[in-house]
Structure 1
Amino acid sequence: MDFLDRSIRRTRFAYFSMEIALRAEMHTYSGGLGVLAGDSVRSAADLDLPMVFVTLVSRQGYVRQAIDDRHGQISKPDPWVPQDFATALPQMVAVSIEGRAVWVRPWLYGLECPLGHVVPVVLLDTDLEQNAVEDRRITDTLYGGDQAYRLKQEIVLGIGGQSVLRALGFRIKKYHLNEGHAALLTLPLLRETQRPDVDGASDPVRGYDIAAVRERCVFTTHTPVEAGFDKFDYDLVDRVLGDYIERDVLTHLAGVDQLNMTRLALNLSGYVNGVARRHAETTRKLFPGYQIASITNGVHVHRWTHRAVATLFEQQFSKWAHEPEVLAFADQIDDRALWAAHENAKRDLLARIAQATGKQLRPDLPLIGYARRMTAYKRPELIFSDLDRLREIAKNRPFQMVLAGLAHPSDGGGQEAIRSLGAHIEALDGVVQAVFVPGYNLDIAAALVAGCDVWLNTPLPPLEASGTSGMKAALNGVLNLSVLDGWWIEGCVDGVTGWSIPSNGADANDAGALYDKLRDVVLPLYDGDRGRWIWMMKQAISKIGPSFNSHRMMRRYVTEAYLR
């Protein structure tokens, strides 16, 4: 606990996120947003940044996935025990929800890096005997329940989290809102600036110092479509949040018809960024008149590099984990050594697949991987659009596929995609060996991005805000085959770091372009020119690794956003 006292004294920046992936056994994450936040914690520790991270404890997790006989996802709670990993702190604060005092207790998790630096992560919990039964469940399920449940969670995260930090003694100068879920933390900051002597009848915000709040807030938006923003009807807000702040102030800052959490964060943050250059451009079109910068996401290189590949890096660049920039020289790695390391990672993945599915894939055939949150815009079924053409390609150039991913229980499109993937896999049996690995989590993701030969991504442009799985794959020399969207627009040098899939947004045309690339370029290269393939592996590591890492990302946040 000594590290907490030290952190309280020195910490100046607070990072709020609904989900943070700290370790596979702590089910406080659902997908990319949480994994990015977890990589941010790791880099903050490596760089010894004066930061604290705040999230929900999510005692029942997100989804524990099983697959039934008809290929459908069975969604079960995924509980974990906070006291096995974190320490309950004695301080508690109360927030008002539906007119009741709801008590919030923090759990403390210290993430320690190999250099010995520790960063505190505060996990907020309402499962306390002081609370009503329904309020004890607020921090149970990540992204669970109805709109009222979600709003209550966001009150606990934003207003409760800000109060908890104060109760612990933190003196925060800058708050980082990772997505709009945390936007309500701006409201207590706004209330602090209120001047009751100012008449706000003609202008509802005249009694508040908007500029002072904006000076203290940084907002990262990850959602490139209007439909993805959290919005709440004002009648619901009045019932749940009460009169915490005047309704006309909220309508002025967060939207007339509904409380739009993204718009609230935009209006009360002095620095706003998208998570890739293309995403920032898309966000500027959604919200004209706002200044939207871009800081492209990155991944934690030490967390996502397979141990066999990491050993190669250690031998040539002893400080690679702390200074990922030196990976620019990875193109000098010996070809045979890199291929041997890749084969090691592939064997580990094939063993995991066999254990999880009972299917034994071949180490000598190219393995295409696809794993991410299952939802419609990511188009997980695109490669299965024409099964006859897939069979034809595979007869001439055999290949294998591995797929994984979770669907939210209320996402019908995602659920149906998983069922369809299972049916396609069954239909291709005997020609294309393919498997779906259930129970997708951090550990499975790490094995997949390291052990595949090709990493596939087929989102519908421009709906991929950034995407980071391909960055993790590239660190291991796995080559990306992806639609040009999100980060890949910046990372793709066609035929060098991987390949692009031409896309006009029509599924049939995009699938045809994918098949052409597989048949004419990717598979012939794997089969016929191993030297060139390994050369591309080294190009992927040396050109993507130095730039698309979370150390670079966090340094940019500190210098461009936190210290403004």
Structure 2
Amino acid sequence: MKAIRRFTVRPVLPDPLQPLSDLARNLRWSWHTETCELFQAVDPEIRRTAECDPVRLLGAVSAGRLAELALDEQFLRRLAEVSADLRDYLDGPRWYQEQLAQGAELPAAVAYFSPEFGVTAALPQYSGGLGILAGDHLKASSDLGVPLIAVGLLYRHGYFRQSLSRDGWQQEHYPVLDPNELPLTLIREADGTPSRVVLALPGGRSLHAHIWQAQVGRVPLLMLDSDVEENAPGEREVTDRLYGGGSEHRLLQEMLLGIGGVRAVRTYCRLTGHPAPEVFHTNEGHAGFLGLERIRELSGTGLDFDSAVESVRAGTVFTTHTPVPAGIDRFDRELVARHFGDDGELPGVGVERILQLGVETHPGGEPEVFNMAVMGLRLAQRANGVSTLHGSVSREMFAGLWPGFDAAEVPITSVTNGVHAPTWVAPEILRLRKGYGGTPGRWDSAADVPDRELWDLRRALRGQVVTEVRERLYASWRIRGAEAAELGWIDSVLDPDVLTIGFARRVPSYKRLTLMLRDRDRLRELLLHPTRPIQIVVAGKAHPADDGGKRLVRELVRFSDDPRVRHRIVFLPDYGMAMARKLYPGCDVWLNNPLRPLEACGTSGMKAALNGCLNLSVLDGWWDEWFEPDFGWAIPTADGLAMDEDRRDDLEAGALYELIEDRVAPRFYDRGGEGLPERWIEMVRRTLGTLGPKVLADRMVSEYVERLYAPAAIAQRALDPGTARQLADWKARVRAAWPRVAVDHVEAVAPNAAGGSAELGSTLVLRVRIALGVLEPADVEVQAVAGRVDAADGISDAQVFPLKPAGGQDLEGRWLYDGPLALDRTGPYGYTVRVLPAHPLLATSAELGLVALPMESMGDGAGLLMR
């Protein structure tokens, strides 16, 4: 029989065991080994079936076992030690507090918004890299003491659980998640009633949401839940699934995340006394509506729209994770308009002003589309990509927002992602490092580990992944309909002494799950090589609506089902954090072969590297900037613009096979006198000791603090209401006057120049005449931009030289500027002159997207040939 109602019966812990409740409710246990081991000791058998979830474990343990533990002095001593350690972790000063003590000007608090968070498998609120990155951001912020408040949605069905049909087709399952069975606490008002946020919807309807809190170390994670009784059935389903539903469903999710999220932060700060955030960080465009809610708040204080925009921009950081326009959320303008204005959310804020924030201005942009990333960039004074290469790709992709500027000058920087080592490093690796003097901040201890010990550990970890794979593969085949009697072959799947390659990630087409299958005969030869075989473990989920991705999964599954190779290549369904934590340490090589440059960062290879796994990857994302032959191998790519897609895949697959056959496998199997692969072990050692420190989330978060959060907080403090009005008025005046700004005349005096050439080390003296209309010299800066030129006179490797006013206006009202131009490089050389807006509160001179250039060719002086 099926129950008509479900509820949770909570255990009553004996008084000596009460600290277990606090330990279970703080997700620090998900990365703190001692806490995990303590819960393991509560009931080892239940712990194995509770999927590493202390809340579920405590709900299942018997009263008799709890009474027994309450009298166990050894367990109580361990409990006291772990509890004291958590208190010290939560209350003691950390890196952030040390920076404050040294006089650093840092924000009182930062609000961090993301549509998904991958903190632990016990809280399945993530689909892939974006969510895992967000979870690692919270954990590293907690470790560093950064006063972060995180905001997301609570999806009652999570993303989805994946299984396979008999013929290998992906099947999706959506289990119902009960918040009362998760490590969450419902935020309540002082009178005990649940706190809630409310959004106005068209037609007089309302969207209500409760606020659940997960505690991630020191960081509160607020999660909005629309499955509440006050909502109509349609509104209750707004937070049903991650990335589910149609356009309006997604729009409502993103309104709740952004607008409702700001209101949830205000509620949390009111109830707890937590400092109000000075900086708001938008992790991808899904939460971009938070800027509109903050504009509404400021409009209530008397600020006009434009002044409120300036104030909001000053304290906002926007991170884009998307390398292609197709990956950005875009809504029909009419749909957005229907949900805002006097009949929806944000009454009093003009709908046309809202719509203008999302207008696409790049070539090919669609006028009837509202672009969430474009709005995010317009409402953030600081923006970044997530690797050096992705920063460059993002500047190209969004250059249309800054017309007249070369892509290199588009104000989007980059902070390369990192991963949270305590979450992803195997306990065996941590113990080995600790045994040789390693600490959380010291990774060079790998240099002291003897070859034999390091190799034996790598083999042991490989053996663990073999066991894990066999268990998961058996379970998968049972779900696919196989009988136990026909699955004896699984006992021989994989070999702990064979080179093991891992490939696990989401399955969009650009990640090329099936590139390894381009030449199946050659792949079989690699898998079945008589002396240097390889084995491959593959996992990944396709989006439920992506039939193309599902076909790729089926293609891979059908190949791996072949009795000739099924002991050497496997596909494991339901990839998630729990599986990933086993795969990274147990693989020897981590494979990544996306279409370059479509991998924004790709952090799975970072997690593998922290465990001594070598990377075999296309030079994309983070691997493009940190690849060295000491750490792994770079797969050559065919990047020609006119390259046929099939031809490109054939070439790159061929390069992959060649690398494995000629370089990777021989190095793994090349054994010295003691039977050890000495060159391989040295690569593992260099990966652990040299690459490891670069890929840490601590490094990433400290960069966000120093390069983005701190400047945003300073800018926010400088923009009081009066200053915000002045800045908005100044921008309006400059924009109105800019059509009359012009570079009228440029002349150059070049000592020792002859016949269009000049000598290296000489200096040009530029004299420029500028028309400013009603503007003053204080409103602008005049620059010479110089560098090598190509056949079309395009300037590359540009340098900027400021030009200064040389007296007042001439008889025609033009302003005179001059300055030196040092000639410090040889070859074809050229320059131009430009005028830009200038104001002390601008983050960059490109901020307004305004530039005035010479109307005509400069004639003599351009394209000098340097000797």
TM-score (norm 1): 0.93
For 2:633, give the aligned amino acid. W
Q: Rate the CA distance shift 1:83–1:217 in 2: closer, same or farther, 3 A.
A: same
Superposed, 1:231-246 pairs within 5 Å as 231-243=330-342, 244=346, 245-246=349-350
User: Residue 483 in 1 paired to residue 618 in 2?
Assistant: yes
CA distance in 2, matches of 1:65, 1:314: 37
Alpha-carbon shift at residue 78 of structure 1 (Å): 3.4
Could you tell me how far apart the structure 2 residues matched to 1:349 and 1:144 are? 33
5+ residue gaps, structure 1: 113-117
Structure 1 residue 287: Cα displacement: 1.1
1:49 aligned to 127, 146, 161, which one?
Answer: 146
State the Cα deviation string for residues 171-200 of structure 1 (Å, max 9, x = none).
Answer: 1111110110010000011223439989x9
Is 1:70 the counterpart of 2:160? The answer is no
Farther off after superposition, 287-296 or 151-160: 287-296
Q: Residue 289 of structure 2: SS of its match in structure 1?
A: helix
- Picking from 73, 79, 95, the partner of 2:199 is 95
Compute the displacement of 1:246 (Å).
2.2
> Counterpart of 1:37?
134
| 8 Å contact kept, 1:475–1:540 | yes
Q: Between Structure 1 and Structure 2, how many residues are aligned? A: 546
Cα 1:6–1:57 change in 2 (3 A) is farther
**Mapping for residues 182-261 of structure 1, pairs under 5 Å:** 182-194=287-299, 206=306, 208-243=307-342, 244=346, 245-255=349-359, 256-261=367-372
Aligned to 1:153: 253
Find the aligned partners of 1:296 and 1:38 in 2 and give their Cα distance: 16
Q: Percent identity, please.
A: 39
1:370 aligns with 2:506: no
- The answer to whether the 8 Å contact 2:527/2:568 transfers is no
Query: Is 2:408 aligned against 1:274?
Result: no
1:527 to 662, 669, 677: 669
1:367 aligned counterpart, secondary structure: strand
1:273 to 1:77, Cα distance in 2 relative to 1, 3 A = same
Q: Distance in 2 between matches of 1:218 and 1:286?
A: 18
Matched, 1:138 2:238: yes
1:462, 1:97 → 2: CA distance? 40
**CA deviation vs aligned residue, 1:55-107 (integer Å, no higher than 9, x gap):** 11111010100111111110111332222210111211211133422111110
The CA RMSD over aligned residues, in Å, is 2.2
Give the Cα separation in 2 of the matches to 1:388 and 1:82. 50
CA distance in 2, matches of 1:305, 1:343: 16
Amino acid at match of 2:627: C
Residue 248 of structure 2 contacts residue 335 of structure 2 at CA under 8 Å; is this kept in 1? yes
Q: Which moved more, 1:219-228 or 1:344-353?
A: 344-353
Aligned mates of 2:509, 2:466 — CA distance in 1: 28
TM alignment of 1:304-343, pairs within 5 A: 304-320=424-440, 323=441, 326-343=442-459
For residues 158-183 of structure 1, give each alpha carbon's deviation from its aligned partner in whole angstroms, at most 9, with x where no partner exists. Answer: 00010011122251111110110010
Higher alpha-carbon Rg: 2
Name the SS for the 1:487 alignment partner. Answer: helix
CA contact (8 A) 1:361 1:433 kept: yes
In structure 2, C-alpha distance between the alignment counterparts of 1:456 and 1:193, rounded to whole Å = 49
Query: 399, 414, 425: which is aligned to 2:549?
Result: 414
Tell me whether 511-520 or 539-548 shows the greater mean CA deviation. Answer: 539-548
CA separation of 1:512 and 1:103: change in aligned 2, threshold 3 A: same
Task: Report how far residue 409 of structure 1 moved.
Answer: 0.4
What is the letter of the counterpart of residue 296 of structure 1? T
| Helix, strand or coil at the partner of 1:209 | helix
Superposition TM-score, scaled by structure 2 size: 0.61
3-state SS of 1:70 partner: coil
Contact 1:159 1:188 in 2 (8 A): yes
- Tell me if the contact between 2:436 and 2:448 (Cα under 8 Å) persists in the aligned partners: no
How far apart are 1:232 and its partner, in Å?
Answer: 0.4
2:224 partner amino acid:
L
Aligned partner of 2:596 among 461, 482, 485? 461
User: How far apart are 1:259 and its partner, in Å?
Assistant: 1.3
Distance in 2 (CA, whole Å) between partners of 1:107 and 1:197 is: 33
Q: Which amino acid in the other structure matches residue 146 of structure 1?
A: G
Residue 352 (structure 1) shift = 0.9
From 585, 591, 600, the counterpart of 1:450: 585
**Structure 2 counterpart SS, 1:110:** strand
* Structure 2 unaligned spans of 5+: 1-21, 27-89, 93-106, 189-194, 360-366, 403-409, 475-489, 640-647, 672-676, 712-867
The AA in structure 1 aligned to 2:265 is: L
What SS does structure 2 have at the residue aligned with 1:252?
helix
C-alpha distance 513-100 of structure 1, shift in aligned 2 (>3 A) = same
Q: Deviations over 1:341-362 (max 9, x none)?
A: 2222212211111111133311
- Listed one character per residue, the Cα deviations across residues 210-233 of structure 1 (whole Å, up to 9, x for unaligned) are 221111111110001111110000
Q: How big is each residue's C-alpha offset from its partner over 1:288-341, in whole Å with a ceiling of 9 and x where there is no partner?
A: 134011100000011111111111112224532xx2xx1144233222222222
Code of the aligned partner of 1:81: D
Counterpart of 1:217, as a letter, is T
